Amino acid sequence: MVTFFKQHNYKEELKDFGLKATPARLAVVEFLENAKKPADVNSIMDYLQQKRVNADPATVFRMMNDFVKRGITKQIQFETGKARYELLSKGDHHHLICENCGKIEAVSDTVIPQMEEEIKKEHNFLVKRHSLEFFGLCKDCSLKKN
Amino acid sequence: MVTFFKQHNYKEELKDFGLKATPARLAVVEFLENAKKPADVNSIMDYLQQKRVNADPATVFRMMNDFVKRGITKQIQFETGKARYELLSKGDHHHLICENCGKIEAVSDTVIPQMEEEIKKEHNFLVKRHSLEFFGLCKDCSLKKN
DNA sequence: ATGGTTGCAAACACTTTGCACATGA
DNA sequence: TCATGTGCAAAGTGTTTGCAACCAT
C-alpha cells in the first residue's frame, strides 16, 4: 500500500491522482499535511492568504469535494453546518474535541473494525466508512471546571 | 431513572422540563416519539403541516435548540449542513446509513462506554457525549450492487 | 492546443436573530 | 397578568453552480 503525501513531492502525487498541480492545490495539500486537526475551508483560506496564494472559496470547496471523491481526504463534522477535511493518509483515528477550549486530540482506533464485522454479520450491512468523535473536557479544562 | 415521553402524556412531561405545552411542541414531541430515524427540521415541518399545526421554521429551530439544551433530544449529523434530532429517551445507539437508498437502521452500543473509560485513563479527557455513525450499503443495496 | 481549473457573481440551503404580538399557566 | 413562546422578515453562514476566461500539460 502506498502512503500518499508523505514525501513532500506533492506535485507528483497530485498527478498520480489525475489532477493538475496548480498553486492552490499544492498549497492546500501542504497545509493539510501539516495540520494538527481537520481543517475547515475558512482555515484553508487563511493559510492561502498568508502564503500569498490567491484562491476563491468556490475553488477551495470544489477542490475539497474533488479530494474527497478521489480518496485524498475525508470529510469530518464536529460542529453542525461546517465541513472539515483531513488527509486520508493520516490514517484511521478519532478525535477528542474539548467543548471548553476547542482543543482537538487524536485517539487511535481500536474496536471499530470488529464492530463493523459484527454489523456485517448481524445486519448484513456493509460498512464503507464511519464517523466517531468524542466531545467533552480535555485534561486542562476538566481541572479548571472543578 | 425516569423514561420520558413514553407514556404519551406529553403535556405533563413538557411541563416537567419547565416548558409550556404549546400545540407545536406537543406535535413535535409526538412526531419524534414515533419517528424511526433522526428527523431534520424539514421533515418536522412536513409533519406539522400534515397535522394542520402551523409553525414557522424559526419556531422549530428555536424549539429544537431548546430541547437539546434541556436534554430532551440530541443533535445528530449524517450529511453536512443539516442537523437531525432524536429523543434522548430512545437510548444510546448508533445508526447504519445506507448511502444508496438512504435507509437508516439502529445498532446498539456495545463497546463505546469502555472506550470512553480508556480515554479517561490514557488522555485525562472526560467524554460527555460522542457521535458514531456507519455509512455503507444495506442488505438489499449490497446485493443489487453486485 | 485543449481540457481541466479558476474567479466571479448569483443562487441555495440551513439556521439565527430582533421585535412586536400572542398565548399558556 | 406576565413570562414564555411565536410569526415574520431580515440577515448570517456555509456551500454550490453557470459561465467565460485561464493555465498546466
What are A52-76's pLDDT values in tens digits? 999 999 999 999 999 999 999 999 9
Q: Are residues B14 and B77 in the same domain?
A: yes
Using the structure, give the distance in angstroms from the CA atom of B27 to the C1' atom of C25, rounded to a whole number. Answer: 19
Q: Give the pLDDT mean for A31-45.
A: 97
> Residue B107: which of A83, A123, A138 has the nearest Cβ?
A123
Q: Are residues B47 and B111 in the same domain?
A: no
One digit per residue, pLDDT tens: chain B, 146 residues?
Answer: 445 544 578 888 899 999 999 999 999 999 999 999 999 999 999 999 999 999 999 999 999 999 999 999 999 999 999 999 999 999 999 999 999 998 999 999 888 999 999 999 999 999 999 999 999 999 999 887 55
What CATH code is carried by the domain that includes residue B118? 3.30.1490.190
Evaluate if residue A144 carries a pLDDT over 80: no
Evaluate if residue A14 carries a pLDDT over 90: yes
Q: Are residues A36 and A103 in the same domain?
A: no
Q: Are residues B84 and B143 in the same domain?
A: no
Q: Which of A43, A72, A89 is the last residue of a domain?
A: A89
Nearest to A141 by CA among A108, A107, A97: A97
Q: Are residues B99 and B143 in the same domain?
A: yes
Question: CA B79 to CA A143: how far, in whole Å?
Answer: 34
**Nearest nucleotide (C1') to the CA of residue B60?**
D6
Q: Are residues A69 and A134 in the same domain?
A: no
Q: Are residues A104 and A42 in the same domain?
A: no
Per-residue confidence (pLDDT) for residue A143, from 0 to 100: 84
What CATH code is carried by the domain that includes residue A58? 1.10.10.10
B-chain residue closest to A119, CA distance? B107
Q: Are residues B106 and B42 in the same domain?
A: no
Q: Which of B65, B89, B113 is the last residue of a domain?
A: B89
Say if strands A126-137 and A93-98 run parallel, antiparallel, or are unpaired. parallel
Average pLDDT, rounded, for chain A: 92
pTM: 0.91
Least confident of A38-52, A97-111, B120-134: A97-111
Per-residue confidence (pLDDT) for residue A6, from 0 to 100: 46
Per-residue confidence (pLDDT) for residue B6, from 0 to 100: 47
Q: Are residues B55 and B96 in the same domain?
A: no
> DSSP alpha helices (H): ranges in B10-145?
10-16, 23-34, 41-50, 57-70, 112-123, 139-144
Q: How many domains does chain A have?
A: 2
Say if strands A126-137 and A104-108 run parallel, antiparallel, or are unpaired. unpaired
Q: Give the pLDDT mean for A109-118.
A: 91
Using the structure, give the distance in angstroms from the CA atom of A58 to the C1' atom of C8, rounded to a whole number. Answer: 9
**Do residue A137 and residue B129 have CB atoms under 8 angstroms apart?**
no
Q: Are residues B2 and B60 in the same domain?
A: yes
Strands, sheet with B104-108, edge to edge from the N-terminal-most edge strand: A104-108, A93-98, A126-137, B126-137, B93-98, B104-108
Q: Are residues A79 and A36 in the same domain?
A: yes
Give the distance from residue A28's alpha carbon to the nearest chain B alpha carbon, in angstroms: 21
Q: Are residues A30 and A98 in the same domain?
A: no
Per-residue confidence (pLDDT) for residue B104, from 0 to 100: 94
- The angle at the Cα of B47, spanning B42 to B51, to the nearest 5 degrees, equals 150
The range of the structural domain enclosing residue B78 comes to 1-89
Please tell me if residue B80 touches chain A, with a CB cutoff of 8 Å. yes
Name every chain B residue with its beta carbon within 8 A of the beta carbon of A130: 132-135
